[in-house]
Amino acid sequence: MKKIQLGRSDLEVGEIALGCMRISELSRKDAAHVIDNALQLGVDLFDHADIYGKGNSEEVFAEAINMNDDVREKIKLQTKCGIRDGFFDFSKEHILESVEGSLRRLKTDYIDSYLLHRPDVLMEPEEVAEAFTTLKESGKVRYFGVSNQNPMQMELLKKYLKDDLIVNQLQLSVVHTPMIDAGFNVNMMNDPAVVRDGNALEYCRLNDMTIQAWSPFQHGMIEGPFIGNAAFPKVNAKLQELAEKHNVTDTAIATAWILRHPADIQPIVGTMNAQRLKDIATASHIELTRPEWYELYRAAGNKLP
């Protein structure tokens, strides 16, 4: 699998990452199989959050991989905090407590990349900066990032932070493209022209931040997969056509569509099926042509000006 660099860090990882939200639903044996398969494919960044499985996902992962110093050197761990029961919390106290909990559950001394999970509009950036400084100086977190934030939210944070933000997780799939749509419809009086995220795509590229695409196969707010879904006939027909042309699966083509973007966007895939992950990983060796990329974009219902 091809490698990418996360932001301005020294973290070099496979260009596809495994999201571990559902790993708590597996037995230890099945979870170990999923992780071993991922590593064999070159998937070495594992994305967690303190709320996944109410913390059980991190525990199951650590047990399944038999976490020790040798294993830890072979993987990159990313986790997130900030979503609580009915509210968001970027307070210094919660960030520090959340990190301690994740370290304990993951059975590790440090986290490679730690993200703030969805914006907290009551955030006091000075508090976040204090927490990040404490975590960095103690060696408990190497790098920091955010999830679902717009440029001004990131700028507000960066005013107080000592270190760069290296990652922004944003929802992106061929059927969920607001960050791309506005770039086509500049100065136009139509709905796609509305800039819904403050030009997050361009901001991240200008600031050397890696965009991680969550829900790359889902439609809506995690309402289910669009691949093989009868409600999306045109895009599925085009996915199948290109899959046959490139001798891969439709899921691989949907992944390749994201990887084709020059921003080096990293899909976070959440499958717990070993064969499906193998199919997805083949996307690393496919580069869709410009016409193919645009054909898929239009097949998803998007119109070019």
Question: Of residues 52, 114, 203, 297, which has the active-site annotation?
Answer: 52
pLDDT, tens digit, 9 for 90 and up, residues 100-110: 999 999 999 99
Catalytic site includes residue 110: no
The neighbouring-strand residues paired with 225 are: 218
Q: Which pLDDT value is given to residue 220? A: 86
State the angle between helix axes of 274-281 and 250-259 in degrees (0 to 180), rounded to the nearest 10: 50
Burial (CB < 10 A; 0-12, 13-18, 19+), residue 156, is middle
DSSP lists the bridge partners of residue 216 as: none
The phi, psi pair for 199, rounded to 5°, reads: 65, 50
Does residue 113 surpass a pLDDT of 90? Answer: yes
CA angle, 2 as apex, 51 and 267 as ends, to 5°? 30
- Reported confidence tier of residue 153, pLDDT bands at 50, 70, 90: very high
256: exposed, middle or buried (Cβ count in 10 Å: 0-12, 13-18, 19+): buried
Whether 47 shows a pLDDT value over 90: the answer reads yes
Cβ pair 286, 253 in contact under 8 A: yes
| Banded pLDDT at 147 (limits 50, 70, 90) | very high
Say if residue 222's pLDDT is above 90: no
Please tell me the distance from the alpha carbon of residue 155 to that of residue 169, in angstroms, as a whole number. Answer: 16
Distance from C-alpha of 147 to C-alpha of 79, rounded to nearest angstrom: 11
Predicted local distance difference test score (pLDDT) of residue 19: 98
**Per-residue confidence (pLDDT) for residue 221, from 0 to 100:** 80
Taking only the tens place, the pLDDT of each residue in 65-111 is 999 999 999 999 999 999 999 999 999 999 999 999 999 999 999 99
> Mean pLDDT of all residues in the chain?
97
Eight-state DSSP code of residue 209: P
Question: Minimal CA–CA distance to 121: which of 150, 141, 159?
Answer: 150
Collect all residues with Cβ–Cβ distance below 8 Å to 171 and sequence separation of at least 6.
148, 213, 214, 215
